[in-house]
Chain A
Amino acid sequence: MSSASSSQMGQLVADKHVRYILMAEKKKESLESVVMDHLRMNGAYWGLTTLDLLDKLGTVSEDEVVSWIMTCQHESGGFAGNTGHDPHILYTLSAVQILALFDKINILDVGKVSSYVAGLQNEDGSFSGDMWGEIDTRFSYIAICCLSILKCLDKINVEKAVEYIVSCKNLDGGFGCTPGAESHAGQIFCCVGALAITGSLHHVDKDLLGWWLCERQTKTGGLNGRPEKLPDVCYSWWVLSSLIMIDRVHWIDKAKLAKFILDCQDLDNGGISDRPEDAVDIFHTYFGVAGLSLLEYPGVKAIDPAYALPVDVINRIAFTK
């Protein structure tokens, strides 16, 4: 890479991204909005967390968001992706995370929500996503992260949960969705995050996994999620946060990664895409900004790599009660 290209690193067009997110929120009748209707809760988490990282959370109506969230709560205590849909652990975590952003966890019946989540643990320590029973280490992370925020980790069998996660560890040091499944950066983030939150990182071979993770960086500077896949901005989060949690982030070229993320911006209309020149979306906008946060990009608040929430939000939770 020539020094000329490194000095051409773009800027983060933060204001454009803020506008993009606020406009997306308003376009409820758009095709994209309708198709993604059922995972609105995830979309809200991505959008609102990005706004907070850019210090613009105040631009949305807290009351509107919070009251909509509560309409998504099911009688079981779990949250759905949108009003009238079925509850799932995925949306339950997003709901709790959004309430944490607004410092409104206190409006929850914590006992009810935590019982819903704890009730999804299976005998082998794994977690199901909902009553239908799908098992995936993503759900282990979600349960542990959610219960930790709610300070109810003691409601589950943490030892068995850790045991199940460790059973999904592969020879390359990575983790899959179930025992034997291919190592995947997204699953690795979930497993490492869960182990970090439960104080169980000693189960990770940090050198071996660190190498697997740093091998995700392609010549473009971007990161992929598995060998021989294309780089994608979302891995800027999953690979990077994993590397930070195991103290190996210095093994990637941070400048090249930052440049890759910045090159994925739509400089005119805001938003970030999976790779340069592609269409933007909220998902990649969040992961791009979160990745830049982990890279300590100026003007972006610090994000906690395990909880995927701004550090000041996590500190506030830690010092409450």
Chain B
Amino acid sequence: MERVIVAHICCLRKVDPWHHWRWVAEKLGPEVAGRELDCTWRVLSLDAKHYLAWSHRQWALRALGGWEDELDYCHELLEADVFNNSAWNQRYYVITQSPLLGGLEAMRESEVSYTIKAILANPANESSWRYLKGLYKDDKESWISDPSVSSVCLNVLSRTDCFHGFALSTLLDLLCDGLRPTNKHRDSVRALANEEPYTNLANLVCTILGRVDPIRANYWAWRKSKITVAAM
């Protein structure tokens, strides 16, 4: 009932109702957590990327609790649309903020596995590649030494049916962060080269990126200029 009244008031005042619902919910306490999550669920079922609804949902979890099913909810949304960046962001929010999970490092292995599956199903998904990198926040060593990261890049690069840009840029990041390339890496990249000269691996990756992602040619040229001896 309060929600209906608030909605009317907000309509009359021509203001966005989200904050007012928050104000009412805060007065009512944690027992309304379910209701607030339900409310945002309804909005997100119509627009799964609704920015204010996600903001309200994060507030509700923080202030009122209800974390138990949130990871499953993110999974549900990603099943429906694996390109939903908001759902990936929420997933990250849950694994880092939920008091019920062990934190980023504890969740890393299972999340890497989850993300790699998503990447292999849709290699042209910016969100999943970013999420993968985010799992190694502040831990460059683990990022470059985890074989599954490097191998998902190689896997995608060996395919002829998909966009290679994100696999290439991830490989570039790994090389610049200290990954020592093997012959597998070199062969994989060389197979994509169109008679471009091989000076060093990172350099070649940038050259290919300038070709497969031409709208960002200036960015890849800049990346090339920044390659240090270590990345060769």
Contact = CB atoms under 8 A, between A and B. Distances in A.
B23 interface: yes
Interface in B106-147: 125-127, 130, 133-134, 137
Interface of A: 37-39, 81, 85-86, 88, 129, 132-134, 170-172, 176-178, 180-184, 210-211, 214-215, 217, 219, 221, 226-229, 250-253, 256
A219 B49 CA distance: 21
Interface string B46-59: 00010100110011
Name the residue among B23, B51, B126, B215 with the largest chain A CB count within 10 angstroms: B215
B8 interface: no
A182 B222 contact: no
B71 to A, nearest CB: 15
7 contacts: A85-B13, A171-B137, A172-B134, A177-B55, A180-B93, A181-B55, A184-B51
Contacts of A256: 215
Name the residue among B59, B125, B130 with the largest chain A CB count within 10 angstroms: B130
Interface stretch (B83-91, B151-159, B199-207): B83-91
Contacts of A214: 216, 219
Contacts of B130: 171-172, 227
Chain B interface SS verdict (over half): helix
Contacts, number: 89
Nearest to A219: B215
Interface of B: 13-16, 18-20, 22-23, 49, 51, 54-55, 58-59, 83-86, 89-90, 92-93, 97, 125-127, 130, 133-134, 137, 215-219, 222
Contacts of B217: 253
A247 B50 CA distance: 30
Which 3 residue pairs across A and B have the least CB separation, nearest first? A134-B19, A38-B14, A182-B89
B218 A250 contact: yes
A251 B89 CA distance: 25
